[in-house]
Amino acid sequence: MSESCGTSHTSTFTGMSPAYKRALLIVIAINGIMFIAEIIIGIQIGSQALLADALDFGSDTATYGISLAVIGAPLATRSKAAMFKGVSLAIIALIVLGTTFWKFFAGGVPAPQIMGLVGAVALAANLLSLVILMRWRDGDANIRSVWLCSRNDAIGNVGVIIAGIMVFVSGAAWPDLVVAILLASLFLKSSYSIIKQARRELVTGEISSSHDCH
């Protein structure tokens, strides 16, 4: 995924577009549906990777709503909203790490076929979200956090599919646990990027385009 770096302050998108707001509403609905589906199935089959992905979907649903609510608000408000989203993402990462280590000692092997199927459906949902949001992938911290969360979801879905295949081949739970840890690490990295850009905007009082390309 390519993200442009060095965008000028004056051209940075702030979300003031009816088309963007409609797109965000569609993406919120997609994330909400997938959160409910993955959390139920993840619990039923005992997959940490699915639960990690579901938590990300749930976080995105809530934080996209915040993003929509603060569009048009003063820069400080938008930056604080982005800061909140970055902190929330870090908390989710820590929860995933904690439950994954607990699962490591508790044992149990998830159903790989269901993992792969759900991962494929979730990937299709997130690719659709990325296509919808593509034209608005660069912007202030609030807008960029939406793009990063959607990108994380797509990467996470690929990880779930790979974990399902490896669980099937090995007959062990460790691929599911490894993917969950990798997803948590990705969440932490994006959290740092979002918080860093939001802090820069709060300190300078100007819209800041991130120079971190992922």
Choose among 153, 133, 39, 139: nearest CA to 81: 139
pLDDT, averaged across the chain: 78
What is the 8-class DSSP label of residue 172?
S
3-class DSSP assignment, residue 194? helix
Residue 143's pLDDT is what? 66
Among 2-11, 75-84, 161-170, the range scoring the smallest mean pLDDT is: 2-11
Residue 102 or 6, more confident = 102
Which H or E run contains 122?
helix 112-133
Residue 14's pLDDT is what? 54
Q: Averaged over 135-143, what is the pLDDT? A: 65
For the range 84-88, what are the long-range contacts, defined as Cβ-Cβ under 8 Å and sequence gap of 24 or more? 85/145, 85/149, 85/194, 86/145, 86/190, 86/191, 86/192, 86/193, 86/194, 86/195, 86/198, 87/191, 87/195, 88/59, 88/62, 88/63
For the cut 60, the answer to whether the pLDDT of residue 183 exceeds it is yes
Neighbour-count burial for 176-210, b at 16+ CB within 10 Å, e otherwise: bbbbbbbbbebbbbbbebbbbbbbbbbeeeebbbb
Residue 121's pLDDT is what? 93
Between CA 84 and CA 142 the distance in angstroms is 10
Q: Averaged over 120-131, what is the pLDDT? A: 89
- Residues 44-99: pLDDT tens digits? 888 888 888 887 788 778 778 877 887 777 878 878 887 887 888 888 888 888 87
Q: Averaged over 104-109, what is the pLDDT? A: 74
Instruction: Look at the pTM and tell me if it is higher than 0.85.
Output: no
Between CA 149 and CA 93 the distance in angstroms is 13
Residue 1's pLDDT is what? 36
